[in-house]
Each structure stands twice: as structure tokens, then as C-alpha cells.
């Protein structure tokens, strides 16, 4: 049983969708340190930031008109509503950043040659329609990048990672890596961010992560159609962390229901929790030292979406239950809140819940987690999962469990690459993995 959509809405300030283009590699340098300020606050300072960046590094900043496409179709999933061009970058934009550090073991851009673009690219902010957890149509936002490459383009979608605040930099800018290599790239903000910031984000909820992504693929194809951008029919899907799960869920959803209209060429989920139930069983135990912010995000959302309906005080100790009872993540003060969360499960979660969950209790929460295991299908396309040996946030066992399932069920083209511990953990390994995904996709 699910509760109604109206009960799931939060009262937030009216936020206008804004977009940020900080230097591409600078954003990657702070990949996991996302700004938690509200978009409404960022709105004031982003124009000055962008202007200063534009002057300092000589990149053209444009803020084009909003183009309305909504009249071209009746309301439906994947309907493209608007687009607005934000940047138009020359082919040499990466070389302008060549002296900047990317934040990985002190190496600069020259250590990661896959990031050098072969093409300039234009970046657009778009709005489109998708479905909420109850199946109702909602308006969401995302990014589309178009390279200045002649001839038909491949389409790639990138799914961003966990974002406990409201900054949209990763999902708006990382697709530019792929656009610089010649891909038309699209990235969903997901429900709860950007245009839909007045809604709870259905964190690690496979079906809505998949629908947001499937629908931006359709919206991006409509954008190409309306603007006479030729596509070659190739579709690539990737994403990191929560976005790795979103990528896997999207592959599963497309293969089951949309393979005729969105045939997938190859997919590369990265460091995703595909085995939510297994990972939760390992993490929701007494005296486990983990990043408890993830538990504070997913438990309230599953409790809400699946209609379990228990007070958060059943799951969490005070003052944490009160913190998230009416103001769940993502939230404007997320960086402060996460800094104040304990790092041990027994300090965050109640003894009663921990005892029940590790025993035979909590059937509803366990069923919710099992329903979000995204690896239980047999991919027919080329799929390569990437993970890091030293990742303690999303253990590589998620990729290994998925690969074992795929191979035991006869998946013909599934593989895993796990980076050695020397590449670092969940955040540190992101850039080296992207450096591998780009050339792997280029082989198709």
C-alpha cells in the first residue's frame, strides 16, 4: 500500500531552476563534496560566479531564451516541455584547465587523457515530464549537451550520484565529458531536485530512477528531432553511485518494456548499490561504523513510499528522528546535518529496530529493499560494471553479486572491472573509472 502523492510533498520555498557551469575539472575535483545551499540562494550569486569564470578563462557564457515545446504533444511521459541554452564551449575548453588539479592523487588533467574533448559542445537545461512513485505525471528537469560534431550522433545518458543537498553540478556538468568526445548527452536531475524540488526525492527507488532516466532519453530524442540534430540510433547508459543503480534500473526497464524504441548499445553502471537488500543486511547491524547519512536518507523514504507508516522515532534515536520527520533529505542544511550524524549504527538507529531487522522482524522494510534489487534480470546488451576494491560506501560485492547472477542466467556480454585499492574509495575512484568508461564506449 502506498500513500498518496499529496502526502508526500514537502513545503519548500518556490525555487527557480538554475544551472551552474563551473570549470569542468574543478567540479570533478569536488565530486563528492557537493554544495548543500538551496537553489534559491544560489540564484543570487550564480550569474556573478559565471561571469567571473567566463572572464577569467575566456569561455563564452550565454543565457539563451527559453524555448517552449509543450504544445507539440499532449501531456505524457517523456514529453519535452522547454529548453534553454546555457553554455556554448569551444573545442579547446579542456586545455584551458590543463593546469588545474582534478583532486585525485595530485594529478592534473594530463593524467587523464580521456577527458580532453575532441569537439566543442553546447549545454542546455531542459524540463520534461515523468511519473512519480504513484504513477502521476510530474515536471522535472535535466541537462542535455550537444557536441559540435557533424553527422549523426550517439546518445548517452548519465545518472548522477547521491546528492543530499540541492546542488546540481555533477549531473549537469559530468555529461560534458562525454559531449566533448562526440556524444549527445542527457542527464536527469531526478524527482526532488531542480524543477521538482518541492517533492521528496525517492532515494534508491529503482522504478522512479528508471522512469526519470527513460523519460529524459525520450525527451532528448525529441530535442534532437525538434532541432534537426541527427542521431545514429546508438544509446549508451552510465551513472555513478545512486546513478549506478539508476543506470542498472534503466537498463532493466528498457529491456523489459522499451527495447523497440530505445535499443541499448552498451551500459556501464559504476559503483552502484544493485544489491540493496544484501548491502542493507550487512550495514543495518549493531555497532557498524558506516556513513549513516545514507541510512537517514533511505529509511524515511522507503517508510513513506511503501506505506509502512511507522514514526521515524521507531527507526532512529533522538534528535535524529525529529530532524528527518518533516524535513527529509535532500535539504538545504544537509552538510551541517550530515556532519552531526553519528558514524555508528547503534548511535543513530534504535536498539529495537536493529534487533528486529537483524532477526526475523521488519518484513515490510526488508520487502521494500528486496524490491529495489536491480540486478535480477538477464541483460542482452554489452554491460560492464565498474567498482573499486577500497570502496566501503558501496562495496564492490554489489557488482560481483550482479555479475554472478547475470552469468548464471546466461547473460552473454556481462563483465566487471574492479579497480585496485590504490585507486581509493567511493569518491576517489570516480574520475579514474570515468577515464575508463569513455574509451570503452568508443569501441561500439
3-state SS string for 194-209 = HHHCCECCCCCCHHHH
Tell me whether residue 237 is in a domain: yes
Per-residue model confidence as pLDDT tens digits over 243-269: 999 999 999 999 999 999 999 999 999
When divided into structural domains, the chain yields a total of 2
- Quote the pLDDT of residue 110: 60
Per-residue model confidence as pLDDT tens digits over 346-401: 999 999 999 999 999 999 999 999 999 999 999 999 999 999 999 999 999 999 99
Per-residue model confidence as pLDDT tens digits over 141-196: 999 999 999 999 999 999 999 999 888 888 888 898 899 899 999 999 999 999 99
Tell me whether residue 262 is in a domain: yes
- Quote the pLDDT of residue 24: 44
Residues 143, 285: one domain? no
109: confidence class by pLDDT, cuts 50, 70, 90: low
Q: Last residue of some domain: 322, 339, 370?
A: 370
Residues 262, 285: one domain? no
Residues 289, 306: one domain? yes
Residues 209, 119: one domain? yes
d(CA 292, CA 286): 12
- Quote the pLDDT of residue 280: 96
Tell me whether residue 376 is in a domain: no
d(CA 184, CA 228): 13
Closest by CA position to 143, among listed 109, 100, 190, 182 = 190
HEC string for the chain? CCCCHHHHECCCCCCCCCCCCCCHHHHHHCCCCCCCCCHHHHHHHHHHHHHHHHHHHCCCECCCCEEECHHHCCCCCCCEEEEEEEEEECCCCCHHHCCCEEEECCEEHHHCHHHCCCCCEEEEEEEEEEECCCCCEEEEEEEEEEECCCCCEEEEEEECCCCCCCCCHHHHHCHHHHHCCCEEEEEECCCCCHHHCCECCCCCCHHHHHHHHHHHHHHHHHHHHHCCCCEEEEEEEEEECHHHHHHHHHHHHHHHHHCCCCCCCEEEEECCCCCHHHHHHHHCCCCCECCHHHHHHHHHHHHHHCCCCCCHHHHECCCHHHHHHCCCCCCCCHHHHHHHCCCEHHHHECHHHHHHHHCCCCHHHHHHHHCCCCCCCCCCCEEEEEEECCCCCCCCHHHHHHHHHHHHCCCCCEEEEEECHHHCCCCCCHHHHHHHHHHHHCCC
Contacts of 16 (CB under 8 A, 6+ apart): 39, 40, 43
pTM for the whole structure: 0.87
Q: Is the pLDDT of residue 37 over 50?
A: no
CATH of the domain at 36: 3.40.50.1820
Mean pLDDT for the stretch of residues 277-281 = 96
Tell me whether residue 345 is in a domain: yes
Q: Which three cell numbers stand for residue 163?
A: 546528492
Residues 347, 395: one domain? no
The least confident of 240-244, 327-331, 389-393 is: 327-331
Tell me whether residue 106 is in a domain: yes
Residues 364, 392: one domain? no
Range of the domain at 268: 5-275+381-441
The least confident of 90-99, 109-118, 161-170, 202-211 is: 90-99
CATH of the domain at 285: 1.10.260
Q: Last residue of some domain: 315, 340, 370?
A: 370
Tell me whether residue 394 is in a domain: yes
Specify the higher pLDDT residue, 191 or 336: 191
Specify the higher pLDDT residue, 215 or 45: 215
Residues 220, 282: one domain? no
Residues 350, 410: one domain? no
Residues 154, 13: one domain? yes
Residues 133, 248: one domain? yes
Specify the higher pLDDT residue, 335 or 345: 345
Residues 303, 421: one domain? no
Chain-wide mean pLDDT for the chain? 85
Tell me whether residue 240 is in a domain: yes
Mean pLDDT for the stretch of residues 5-12 = 33
Tell me whether residue 224 is in a domain: yes
Q: Last residue of some domain: 347, 370, 393?
A: 370
Specify the higher pLDDT residue, 43 or 327: 327
Residues 49, 105: one domain? yes
Amino acid at each position: 500500500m502506498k500513500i498518496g502523492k499529496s502526502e508526500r510533498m514537502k513545503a519548500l520555498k518556490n525555487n527557480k531552476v538554475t544551472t551552474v557551469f563551473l570549470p569542468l575539472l574543478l567540479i570533478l575535483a569536488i565530486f563528492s563534496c557537493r554544495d548543500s545551499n538551496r537553489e534559491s540562494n544560489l540564484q543570487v550569486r550564480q550569474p556573478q560566479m559565471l561571469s567571473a569564470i567566463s572572464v577569467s578563462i575566456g569561455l563564452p557564457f550565454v543565457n539563451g531564451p527559453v524555448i517552449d515545446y509543450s504544445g507539440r504533444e499532449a501531456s505524457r511521459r517523456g514529453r519535452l516541455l522547454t529548453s534553454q541554452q546555457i553554455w556554448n564551449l569551444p573545442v579547446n575548453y579542456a586545455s584551458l584547465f590543463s593546469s588545474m588539479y582534478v583532486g585525485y592523487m595530485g594529478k592534473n588533467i594530463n593524467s587523464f587523457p580521456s577527458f580532453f574533448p575532441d569537439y566543442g559542445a553546447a549545454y542546455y537545461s531542459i524540463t520534461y515530464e515523468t511519473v512519480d512513485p504513484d504513477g502521476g505525471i510530474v515536471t522535472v528537469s535535466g541537462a542535455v549537451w550537444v557536441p559540435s560534431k557533424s553527422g549523426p550522433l550517439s546518445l548517452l545518458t548519465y545518472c548522477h550520484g547521491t546528492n543530499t543537498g540541492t546542488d546540481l553540478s555533477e549531473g549537469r556538468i559530468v555529461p560534458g565529458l562525454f559531449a566533448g568526445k562526440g556524444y549527445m548527452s542527457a542527464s536527469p536531475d531526478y524527482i526532488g531536485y531542480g524543477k521538482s524540488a518541492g517533492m521528496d526525492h525517492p532515494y534508491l527507488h529503482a522504478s522512479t530512477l528508471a522512469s526519470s532516466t527513460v523519460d529524459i532519453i525520450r525527451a532528448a530524442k525529441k530535442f534532437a528531432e525538434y532541432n534537426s540534430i541527427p542521431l545514429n540510433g546508438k544509446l549508451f547508459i552510465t551513472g555513478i553511485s545512486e546513478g549506478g543503480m539508476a543506470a542498472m534500473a534503466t537498463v532493466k526497464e528498457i529491456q523489459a518494456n522499451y527495447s523497440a524504441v530505445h535499443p541499448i548499445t552498451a551500459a556501464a553502471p559504476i559503483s552502484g548499490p544493485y544489491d540493496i537488500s544484501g548491502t542493507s543486511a550487512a550495514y543495518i547491524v549493531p555497532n557498524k561504523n558506516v556513513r549513516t547519512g545514507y541510512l537517514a536518507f533511505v529509511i524515511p523514504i522507503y517508510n513513506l513510499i511503501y506505506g509502512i507508516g511507522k514514526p521515524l522515532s521507531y527507526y532512529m534515536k533522538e534528535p535524529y528522528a525529529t530532524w528527518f520527520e518533516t524535513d527529509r533529505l535532500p535539504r538545504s542544511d544537509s552538510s551541517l546535518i550530515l556532519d552531526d550524524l553519528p558514524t555508528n549504527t547503534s548511535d543513530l538507529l534504535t536498539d529495537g529496530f536493529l534487533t528486529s531487522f537483524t532477526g526475523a522482524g521488519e518484513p515490510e522494510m526488508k520487502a521494500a529493499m528486496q524490491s529495489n534489487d536491480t540486478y535480477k534480470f538477464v541483460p542482452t546488451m554489452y554491460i560492464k560494471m565498474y567498482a573499486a576494491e577500497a570502496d566501503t560506501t558501496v562495496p564492490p560485492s554489489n557488482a560481483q553479486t550482479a555479475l554472478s547472477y547475470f552469468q548464471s542466467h546466461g547473460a552473454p556480454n556481462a563483465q566487471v572491472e574492479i579497480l585496485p585499492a590504490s585507486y581509493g574509495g567511493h569518491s576517489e575512484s570516480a574520475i579514474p573509472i570515468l577515464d575508463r568508461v569513455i574509451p570503452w564506449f568508443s569501441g561500439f
